[in-house]
Amino acid sequence: MPDSGFKERYRQVCARLEAMPRFSTVGARAANFALEQIQDFFRDAGAFYRNIPVIHVAGTNGKGTVCSMLAAVYTQAGYSTGLYTSPHLTDVRERFRINGEMMQPEDLVLFFDEMDSVLDRHSLTFFELTTIIAFWYFNRKGVDLAIIETGLGGRLDATNIVTPRMSVITSIGFDHMEQLGYTLSAIAAEKAGILKPGIPYVTGDVPEEAAAVIRKAGEHCGAVAVTRLVLQESLPTDVGSLHQSTNIGIVSTVVTTLQEEFPVITQDMHSALKNVRALSGLQGRLEQLHPGLNLFFDGSHNRDAIESVCNYLAGRFDLSRATVVVAMMQDKLNAETLASFDVFSNIYYLQLKQTRAATFRDFRKFLPRARSMDVSREALAELLETAKTELVLFTGSFYFYSVVSEWLEHYKTNAPDK
């Protein structure tokens, strides 16, 4: 059991990370859309990220799911597999996983103990720092392969220091336009910035306007386009999505392309897809929060993602009788994004504490029949009762997940004895 000295050091480390401005709380001023800072760090500390074979994944939607699927497949196949994703939902260590297990507190403390003197010489953003932690951790543990998800965009994303074994662009849609551009072409150009000379890449289903930009970028830098496999059979997976076949097609294409260096037998891939959540630690994507209730969470926060989730759930539930509880960031509010919620019988809005969070008044401008919800035992009890017979969906932001989790845990702890 860790002694009190370690516990205090771990508390200090967590407080240090928590105090750093994050995109989730203050937006673009917490980000650095350039590579110079992280490159300077690695020139000083040593480029240990180069020791790790990487699959690099970008995209507007689906990149977290594809990363988790790839991690599950290679873990099932017997490889020591690192997985770096963002954001975290309840604990920063969720960002750094090996074979589905998140980093231990001792490893996080050790990183700062080893790197403090170097860190003091560099001014880093939160995402730059977590990217460095990921590469340090995967290098230290000697993983066979790391699946690395971009944070925002691609071209100037901190993860784009790598030369991967393969690049993936899952989708192109409208999100983070202030940073990436207001057209699909501009957004595609930023995502295509992860393509590297001589490195194979695959894309998901992207609009032709975006696909043309990606093809041109690939040709310009000498990347190798790989045609995505169109599967003739439906492979079952425990990750529900209307885009399941596209995502699995991407994963199958990556596995096939890298088969010589990282062999995977078909049985392992099929088994992994049935157990993505357990093998990768995936949370917050169409996650059923209670096995006996129709209670789901999904972190979708842009038009395409929300529309996809609602369409998928409409195939399983009557949304005209369902309830949705939404929490969103101010910059995500627009008529197109919120239109999918109008089919729900009951629409509630819960305001998060982040600076960027939209207010109930702002939300109601787009959905006038929405009602405000507070985090109370009574409110949750009503939702749980509804979920016995009808769908209750929590959605709108990954940052909502910790609130819902704490809400449920508090209710369980304080529930009256039956």
- Contacts of residue 226, Cβ cutoff 8 Å, sequence gap at least 6: 166, 200, 201, 202, 253, 257
Q: How far apart are CA 324 and CA 391, in angstroms?
A: 8
> What is the CATH T-level fold of the domain 4-280, as seen in this structure?
UDP-N-acetylmuramoyl-L-alanine:D-glutamate ligase (3.40.1190)
pLDDT of residue 181: 66
In contact, 86 and 152? CB cutoff 8 Å = no
pLDDT of residue 231: 82
> What is the CATH T-level fold of the domain 287-413, as seen in this structure?
Protein-Tyrosine Phosphatase; Chain A (3.90.190)
pLDDT of residue 29: 46
As averages over each run of 10 residues, the pLDDT of the chain (418 residues) reads 80 90 54 85 96 96 94 98 94 97 97 94 94 98 98 91 97 72 88 97 95 97 94 81 84 97 97 96 93 93 90 94 96 91 96 90 96 92 95 94 90 59
pLDDT of residue 104: 97
Domain with CATH 3.90.190.20 in the chain: 287-413
Q: Which of the 8 DSSP states describes residue 113?
A: H
pLDDT of residue 32: 62
Domain with CATH 3.40.1190.10 in the chain: 4-280
pLDDT of residue 179: 67
Segment holding 394, helix H or strand E: strand 392-395
Question: Please, which residues bridge with residue 201 across strands?
Answer: 167, 225
